[in-house]
Structures are given as C-alpha cells and as structure tokens.
Amino acid sequence: MKQQDIRAAAAVLWQHWQQSTRFDELPAHCRPGSRDEAYAIQAEVAKLSGQRIVGWKIAATSAAGQHHIRVDGPLAGCLLSARALEGGARITLAGNHMRVAEAEFAFRMGAHLPKRAKSYGVSEVVDAVASLHPAIEVPDSRYEDFTRVGAAQLIADVACACWFVIGPATRADWRAIDLAEHSVAAYRNGALAGEGSGANVLGDPRRALAWVANELCTYGDGLRAGDVVMTGTCVTPVPVCAGDSVRADFGAFGVLEVGFA
C-alpha cells in the first residue's frame, strides 16, 4: 500500500472511533491485504489519536473466538492511554456495538523485548514480566459486521480495542501457579455469568504473551518495559447493558468490578 492509502484508511477508522459510528468496510483502494499493511494502518490510527500506546491486547485467543470472527489465529491491537481505567469505573455503552465484558489476565512488562530475528520463548518472555493483574476488557468494533471483514481489516481497526480496566498487581506468587489451570469466574449483577480458566487463552496466558511478543517483533518494534498486555478472555464474553455491573473473580489473584452506564 502507498503511504497515502494507509493514511486514508486510518482517517476513516479514526473518524468512526471519535463519533462512535460504524461502517461496512474500508474502501477498496485503502483496504489492507496483509498483516503488514494492517499493522501499518493501526499504527497510523494511534498517531491520529494523539494518545500514548500503553500496551497491547490480543483478540481471538480461543478457537471459539476465532471461529466467531472467521480468522485463523490471534490478532494484536494497541492500547491507547485515554482508554485505560481502574477498577470500579463506570463505562458508557453509548455507541458500543459489541456490548460485552471479558475477564482477562494482564501482564505488565518489566523489561524491553526488542525486535529481533530469533523468536522469543515462553520462559524468556515470562522472565521479562514485572507483575500480573486481573483485568476486564470492553471491546468494540467500528465495522457493522465485524465477523465478516477478515483479519487484516480487524487488525487495522486496532483488533476491536476500546476500553480496558486493570486491577492492582497481584501479591500472590503467580509464577508458582499453573495459569492454564487457574479458574476465573465472571458475575453480572451478582449472578454467575460464566466460568473458565487460563486454558481458554491459547492454552495458557503465558503462551499468549509470548505470541504477542513475537507478533510485535515481526510487525512492530517489540514489547517495551511498562507495557500492559491483555491476553484474551478466559470466560465466554459476558453480554452487558446500561445499568449492569460485572465482577471478575480471579481467586488468589484478585477481584475486579466495572459498571455500565
């Protein structure tokens, strides 16, 4: 793609971000045909936002999620600073198309994992982590039907990023615990809405973290110290409406709650 087409695609996407509106798909002349082009558009969207990139999210980390949006693997999206919230926040659903909350493991990086030719191993990536956090993502899409536009257009649209809520760093010794087997429960208005485990996230959230480290080595500049990585939902996404509250219970790792207006 020409740089002018990358900028044109980003301008369309950012306009719909700002206005909380949706459209069918990007115009043919600026529609990405590869991951490389898609991540270039995503980076331009971040520039247009004027916000810092504070981390990354991973979409479609379960087989069910990949089937739902018709992709064959995970997608990475940058997290923008103005979209970061703390536990207890109230999030407006005005203009939100997806209207779901997702309980996720989040990692904060303590060391930089720069771009390099050799892939990072799981243990090497985990060694670079500073802390583990309970988290809730409230995703959204700028497409009318995000299940049919394909991986490249979804990546360009920041992999359905919107709001994300990060809890305090856990005091539990998470490195000594099998995160794949660790149970997570989600409650809507006090009633159990779903249960799952870390195994729903590419088999293990640590594996998902290594995936994004290597994805960013291929299509970006790697992970930076201080970056937060949302690794994907452990529980089937919980449908939400205005007035609802969602609590994500990560057991020994903490509890996190968010309300919706």
- Distance CA(11)–CA(222), nearest Å, equals 25
The answer to whether the CB of 24 falls within 8 A of the CB of 31 is: no
End-to-end CA distance of the chain: 40
Bridging pattern class, strands 100-109 and 129-138:
antiparallel
The answer to whether the CB of 40 falls within 8 A of the CB of 13 is: no
The answer to whether the CB of 103 falls within 8 A of the CB of 231 is: no
Alpha helix ranges (H) inside 132-237: 151-156, 205-219
Q: Say what the pLDDT of residue 68 is.
A: 86
* Superfamily of the domain at 53-260: Fumarylacetoacetase-like, C-terminal domain (3.90.850.10)
CA distances from 24 to 27, 72, 97, 153 (A): 9, 21, 13, 11
- CB count within 10 Å of CB 23 equals 13
Which residue numbers in the chain have pLDDT < 70?
none
All structural domains of the chain with their residue ranges: 53-260
Q: Say what the pLDDT of residue 72 is.
A: 86
Backbone phi, psi, residue 4, to 5°: -65, -30
Q: Say what the pLDDT of residue 118 is.
A: 95
Q: Write out the two tokens for 186.
A: 């989600």
Q: Write out the two tokens for 214.
A: 């290597």
Q: What is the pLDDT of residues 194-226, one digit of tens each?
A: 999 999 999 999 999 999 999 999 999 999 999
Q: What is the pLDDT of residues 147-171, one digit of tens each?
A: 999 999 999 999 999 999 999 999 9
Q: Say what the pLDDT of residue 33 is.
A: 96
Q: Which residue has the tokens 């509106």?
A: 21
Q: Which residue has the tokens 């996230």?
A: 201
| Helices and strands of the chain, counted as H and E runs | 6, 15
pTM of the model: 0.96
